[in-house]
Structure 1
Amino acid sequence: MSRPTCKFRIFGSSHSAHPPASFAESVIRQHTQSNSQCTGGSSIVWEITLTSYQMPRNVTFNQTPLVKANVSRGRSTLVMIFMSIAFASCAVRAFWIQVIDRKFYEKKGASRVEHIIDVRAERGKIMDTNGMVLATNVLVKSIWVDPKEIPEDLEPGKLVMLARLLGMPAQQITAQFDRDKTFVYLKHQVPLGEADKIKSLGIPGIYQTTEYKRLYPEEEVTAQLIGFTGITGAGEDGVELAQDAKLGAVDGTKLVIRDRVGHIVEDLGNVNAARPGIDVQLALNGSIQYSAFNALRSAVINSNAQAGSAVVVDGHTGEILALANYPSYDPNDRSLLRGPALRNRVVTDVFEPGSIMKPFTVSLALDLRRVSPDSLVETNRTFPLDGATITDDANFGTLTVAGVIQKSSNIGATKIALTMKPEEMWKMYTALGFGHAPDLGFPGAGVGIVRPWRKWHRIEQATMSYGYGVSVSLIQLAHAYTVFANNGRLVPLSLYKTDEASVQGTRIFTEHTTDEVRGMLESVVAKGGTAPQAEVPGYSVGGKTGTAYTATRHGYERNAYRASFVGVIPIRNPRLVIAVSVDKPKGAKHYGGDVSGPVFAEIAQTAMRVLNVQPDEPVSKAAHQEPLLN
């Protein structure tokens, strides 16, 4: 009986034609020990036939042929062709972009890139004591151009229209294009309406930036006080300059992405944050200021004068409630920012004040007890002194010290002054602030002249007693007169709101002396004085006139006068000091009482109403009469 035979094929490794001997032996051993049977069920002896098998190249031993990929050579070739074409296309496109069409894509990239732009900050406002705006800001545009973007074939008509809207010759615009090829400012502070018309022209390369323009709602009324800013926004005069550090804004910068037409498409945040300016509030009262300006303007025009100035000071706090000059200008019109109208005459102009100085001479003599209000002084119209002759406008005869003030006697003031030492008078003048610039922060403030007392001769001491040989500004006079409104104390002046309780005055005269002198000042405005035109119905008024010749380098100019008046209202319970001066009035009425007295009265009447100061005497018709001269 033949023995059934089962053959097994053992696969070898990729590195050998036959499987290892140890592996074959283990297989035979395993199967000879088995009870497995063939088809006949007979016991069998296993026979293993090891057949040589060559492994395919690049196939690992553990990879089975059942899952091996079977890719045709044609399909592989097709895929490789397509991939080669794609890579070749990318290479050609890259070459085209980098070499052939490089400038086009650089321009496209530059049209949508990051830019650092300015962020305009708003300058602080200036307001009066009640919050009325005296200086503020309005939005405007600055027009600039990138000359590289201007088409060479730009329509000439558009350039002409652009020039017309900018108010510039077309040749000037093209010259700017040629001078700078990167960035040119065409015009600052263009109104929004004109800027919109420029934008509608659609000229490539023309751009706009938002900025601020300073606006002065009160125009010429407050011009010299408020001042103005320059084209860059910095203060150049008045409060704008004095408070520039506070009012001034600090522009910032931020990073943005612009599109090709200049529009911001994404804000990437601040680089440097903008800092707006701080608002400034003045002590100025807008209503009193308006009254002062109108009254002053009328006086200058009616007297055919060269100029005039007025200032209103709170006698207790030193706050400046009004400061006016005429002629004036509109600071909103930059073409007018030149000439003598810009001068803040209240602060800058110094002059010989004349008889306005007499109350100080008398006050010092009373304080030193050299005279009393009832002391008698002989005048007799002329008084020879050291080769010179001092005169009065009339023969007043024998006057009391109070009468010297009421009649404004030069001879009386001279004789009173000569009872004192030059050093005593000089110390008083300097204590009152004469010869020193007022501490207001204004540029160009006048200092005036008070010569050292050691160089005085008797004639100089005499003339200074009645306002010649010494020069002062109107603001210095108003400041000095606060001693009569504040019981002998000189209070510091302030353009800004001040707490009365914090004001510490400097004692110049005794309270008793200033009380006596206030009575003398009241007689000046009463019947028989030199300024009845300064009377204000319902209120007690006191003050002093001054009419002085105008000094030139060649001596005094005849028929050229400085007509002034400084008054206190109410004189019995002082509140305000008002000083008015008109330069070179023409005509028969050129005296301080005639020209400046009515200006004082008009300003004072408005101020009493605005400040709600109650009348201190019955309202009656003014006892007008022809005033005495001086």
Structure 2
Amino acid sequence: MMKLEGALYPWRFRVVVGLLSIMVLAICYRIVDLQVIDHRFLIEQGDARSLRTVSIPAHRGLITDRNGEPLAVSTPVTTIWANPSEMQADKSKWGLLAQALGQDPKALTERLNEQSTKEFIYLVRGLTPEQGQSVLDLKVPGVYGKEEFRRFYPAGDVTAHMVGFTDLDDHGREGVELAYDDWLAGVPGKRQVIKDRRGRLIKDLQVKKNAKAGKTLALSIDLRLQYLATRELRNAIQENDAKAGSLVIMDVKTGEVLAMVNQPTYNPNNRRTMVPAAMRNRAIIDVFEPGSTMKPISMTAALDSGRWKPSDKVEVYPGTLQIGKYTIRDVTKTEGPILDLTGILINSSNVGMSKVAFDVGGEAIFRAMQRVGLGQYTGLGFPGERVGNLPNYREWRKAETATLSYGYGLSVTALQLVHAYSALANNGKIVPLTILKTDKPAESTQAIPEATAKTLQGMLQQVIEDPRGVYRARVPSYHVAGKSGTARKTSVGTKGYAENSYRSLFAGFGPMSNPRYAIVVVIDEPSKGGYYGGLVSAPVFSKVMSGTLRLMNVRPDNLAPIPPEQQANAAPAAVPVKGGRG
């Protein structure tokens, strides 16, 4: 019977034997293939489970002032991270870990338990290498270290608004750090290592790609002038109980910003208590009506027209001028019923300036302001820079013409204002602004005719040196020029101006023998002792300009003459003796 069945189905046996033989041959072929022919597959699979490529942090570029003083440097730090799921196996050292990290043990335990299913969390970032090593020496399972860099700012709050700061990942977030992030940021490297299945380092194999450090950036600012400006501006804010302030120093020949400071400020090295309002770089972000500081720019339009010269007279009596329902007033009492153009600037007469503007026309004044950069970007490339507003009308009515001529109806930044005055100081030539140190002569544009600019220089010098001028702006041993301004602040949420809310301004330049430096001072809402620009901002200009000229080793051009008796008693110059031993 069995023989009969075997004879009936012999193919079943053969099929089974054949399939088994094919499987054996396939397995043998695969073994030979993996071990001999395609042996790299097993190597790659093994490496994938043990060979790792880790990042090598790159050193961020150094930021310096024009003299090489460091403003932002990168220091090595250690970041401690953990694998909470791995840490659950041994909780005995969690208390020691919390103590080494300076954290509350209970809070750390709750955090690790809540995130027990995760494989990566940061425990703390930015430890010094010594602090980081002390944590790693505890050998807590699941706790690892990572090398990073942290930014440090040696000048602290003095350069905060210019330099800015980086975030925890070393990316620029404010100021120059943000504007030049691509230049400063380095390129991370790559390193091959062998790790076990728990992620622990077994062997450091090789560096596949070296880290490339970021490039150094030299700013145009002079740290000495930055400290000087910060000190004087802070003192003025405190003395006048003001809300805020800005100060900018510029080299009119090269276009370099030598100092830019704001109050209030912040410490970029400790941002835990930082107030967002203090982060604002007011010198380039806050726009305001410049008030009487615009009168010299308007006056250039009058002189350019050929219809006016400095000695021409204007009647300003009785100190008011009615234009429909709008009344123009002179804030201070003028020295007489009739003023020449220089007298209009010295007495800051709104009435006199308006009458000159009516003759010249609003379009001419608009063009004069536009040529010196108002209503336009400065090209500085600074994050958040505001352009302000310079209005233009199809039909210039008297009210718009008058208000524009004495600095209302338009808005500027402190940086734009100092740039405009640089054209007056530089014999009418305007140079592009820069916050980077430059060694090449800047290309200039003739924004104001040279003869007009030189005439305005003399007139603005009289604004300070005339007996009725802004004597608080005078600088001992130097001739300087400038113009004060006082502007009412617009009210927030309603039309018109706020009550008892002013900005005090002063813009000037010097020395007059060869004007080189322009300075603008803006004090926001002074509330103690007065609010006029000549009272509040002019003394700051005087102190900062005096310090600037001395620090820059500029020769005095206004020294008192030596009395005749001292000249007579002066020792004669030594006469060289011929011969003798050489």
**How many Å separate the matches in 2 of 1:167 and 1:615?**
66
List aligned pairs for 1:31-110, cutoff 5 A: none
Q: Match of 1:610?
A: 551
* Residue of structure 2 aligned with 1:534, choices 463, 468, 473: 473
User: Which residue number in structure 1 is paired with residue 346 of structure 2?
Assistant: 406
CA apart distance, 1:158: 2.7
Could you say which residue in structure 2 is the equivalent of 1:291? Answer: 228
* Separation in 2, partners of 1:374, 1:516: 11
How many angstroms does 1:263 deviate by?
A: 7.1
Structure 2 gaps of 5+ residues are 1-45, 562-582
Rounded to whole Å, the distance in 1 between the matches of 2:78 and 2:560 is 57
Runs (5+) with no aligned partner, structure 1: 1-108, 621-630
The whole-number CA distance in structure 1 between the counterparts of 2:221 and 2:160 is 13
Deviations 1:566-619 (Å, cap 9, x if unpaired)?
110102310100111000001232111111111111211221122111101115
For 2:109 and 2:506, how far apart are their aligned partners in 1?
56
Matched, 1:174 2:115: no
- 1:208–1:221 Cα change, 3 Å: same
Could you say which residue in structure 2 is the equivalent of 1:517? 456
| Contact preservation (8 Å) 1:111, 1:260 | no
Amino acid at match of 1:362: M
Distance 1:170 1:265, change over 3 A: closer
Deviation at 1:146, TM superposition (A): 2.4
Q: Following TM superposition, by how much is the alpha carbon of 1:540 offset from its aligned partner in structure 2, in angstroms? A: 0.6
Match in the other structure for 1:204: 141
Partner of 1:301: 238
Does 2:504 match 1:567? Answer: no
Q: How does 1:104-253 map to 2 (within 5 A)?
A: 113-155=50-92, 156-162=94-100, 164-165=102-103, 169-171=107-109, 173-175=111-113, 177-180=115-118, 182-253=119-190
CA apart distance, 1:197: 3.1
Post-superposition CA distance 1:291-330 (Å, at most 9, x none): 0000000000110000010000001111000000011000
CA distance in 2, matches of 1:294, 1:113: 58
Shift of 1:451: 1.5
Which residue of structure 2 lines up, in the alignment, with residue 97 of structure 1? none
Shift of 1:167: 9.8
Q: How many residues get paired?
A: 510
Q: Offset of 1:234 from its aligned partner? A: 1.0
Shift of 1:196: 3.0
The correspondence for 2:382, drawn from 442, 459, 470, is 442
Matched AA of 2:457: R
Partner deviation per Cα, 1:32-58 (whole Å, 9 max, x = no partner): xxxxxxxxxxxxxxxxxxxxxxxxxxx
Does residue 596 (structure 1) correspond to residue 537 (structure 2)? The answer is: yes
- 1:427 Cα deviation after fit: 1.9
Contact kept, 8 Å, 2:488 with 2:501, in 1: the verdict is yes
Partner amino acid for 2:452? T
Give distance in 2, aligned partners of 1:323 and 1:232.
27
1:386 match = 324
Distance 2:522 2:193 in 1: 58
Q: Which amino acid aligns with 1:562?
A: R
Change (3 A) 1:160 1:499: closer
Partner residue, 1:13: none
In the alignment, the residues of structure 2 paired with residue 168 and residue 344 of structure 1 have an alpha-carbon distance, to the nearest angstrom, of 42
**Contact residue 163 and residue 173 of structure 1 kept, 8 A:** no
Whether contact under 8 Å (1:141, 1:195) holds in the other structure is yes
SS at match of 2:528: coil
Deviation of 1:110 after TM superposition, in Å, equals 11
Deviations 1:453-510 (A, max 9, x none): 2154210110110011111000000000111111111111110112352x12111211
Aligned counterparts of 1:131 and 1:467: Cα–Cα separation in 2:
39
Please give the alpha-carbon distance, in whole angstroms, between the structure 1 residues aligned to 2:260 and 2:197. Answer: 53
Structure 1 residues 330-351: Cα deviation after superposition (integer angstroms, max 9, x where no partner): 0011324441100000000000
Aligned CA RMSD, in angstroms, stands at 2.3
| Counterpart-to-counterpart distance in 1, 2:516 and 2:106 | 54
The range that moved more, 188-197 or 306-315, is: 188-197
Q: Structure 2: how far apart are the matches of 1:482 and 1:315?
A: 5
Tell me, in whole angstroms, the C-alpha distance in 1 between the residues paired with 2:347 and 2:225.
31
Equivalent residue in structure 1 for 2:361, among 421, 424, 431: 421
CA 1:168–1:558 in structure 2 vs 1: closer, same or farther (change >3 Å)?
farther
| 8 Å Cα contact 1:222-1:324 kept in structure 2 | yes
Q: 1:274 to 1:243 in 2, by over 3 A?
A: same
Work out the CA distance in 2 between the residues paired with 1:199 and 1:551.
58
Aligned mates of 1:492, 1:600 — CA distance in 2: 23
The whole-number CA distance in structure 2 between the counterparts of 1:151 and 1:110 is 28
**How far apart, CA to CA, are the structure 2 residues paired with 1:154 and 1:346?**
54
Give 3-state SS (helix, strand or coil) of 1:472's partner: coil
Instruction: State the SS of the aligned residue for 1:450.
Output: coil
Q: Is the 8 A contact 1:447 1:472 kept in 2?
A: yes
Distance in 2 separating the partners of 1:171 and 1:506:
67
Equivalence for 1:5: none
Instruction: Report if aligned partners of 2:84, 2:117 keep a CA contact under 8 Å in 1.
Output: no
Cα distance in structure 1, aligned partners of 2:299 and 2:437: 33
Are positions 1:325 and 2:262 aligned together?
A: yes
Identity of aligned residues (%): 38
**Which of 581, 586, 589 is 2:522 aligned to?**
581
Relative to structure 1, the CA distance from residue 157 to residue 596 in structure 2 (aligned partners, 3 Å threshold; closer, same or farther) is same
1:121/1:249 contact within 8 Å kept:
yes
Partner-residue secondary structure (3-state), 1:449: coil
Q: Does the CA-based 8 Å contact 1:546-1:592 persist in structure 2? A: yes
Please state how far the C-alpha of 1:266 moved relative to its aligned partner: 3.8
Do structure 1's residue 548 and structure 2's residue 487 form an aligned pair?
yes
Residue matched to 2:371: 431
CA–CA distance in 2 between the matches of 1:120 and 1:423?
57
Q: 1:272 to 1:338 in 2, by over 3 A?
A: farther
Contact in 1 for aligned 2:65/2:222 (Cα 8 Å): yes
Structure 1 CA distance for aligned equivalents of residues 489 and 520 of structure 2: 18
Give yes or no for contact 1:413–1:466 (8 Å, CA) kept in 2: yes
Following superposition, the deviation at residue 136 of structure 1 comes to: 0.6
> Partners of 1:111 and 1:159 in 2: how far apart?
32
Name which one, 1 or 2, has greater alpha-carbon Rg: 1
User: Are the equivalent residues in 2 in contact too, given 1:530–1:545 (CA < 8 A)?
Assistant: no
1:138-177 Cα distance to aligned partner (Å, 9 max, x none): 1111111123432534225235425534999314531564
CA apart distance, 1:245:
1.1
Q: Give the SS at the match of 2:554.
A: coil
Q: Is the contact between residue 328 and residue 342 of structure 1 (CA under 8 Å) also seen in structure 2?
A: yes
Given that 2:334 and 2:349 are in contact with CA atoms closer than 8 Å, whether structure 1 keeps it comes out as: no
Instruction: Give me the whole-angstrom Cα distance separating, in 2, the residues matched to 1:275 and 1:248.
Output: 9
SS at match of 2:452: helix
Q: TM-score, normalised by structure 2?
A: 0.83
For 1:244, the aligned partner's letter is D
The verdict on how the C-alpha distance between 1:261 and 1:571 changes in structure 2, with shifts beyond 3 A counting, is: farther
Mapped partners of 2:128, 2:558: distance in 1: 54
How far apart, in 2, do the equivalents of 1:167 and 1:273 lie? 40
Contact 1:426–1:453 at 8 Å: present in 2 too?
A: no
Distance in 2 of aligned mates of 1:110 and 1:188: 30
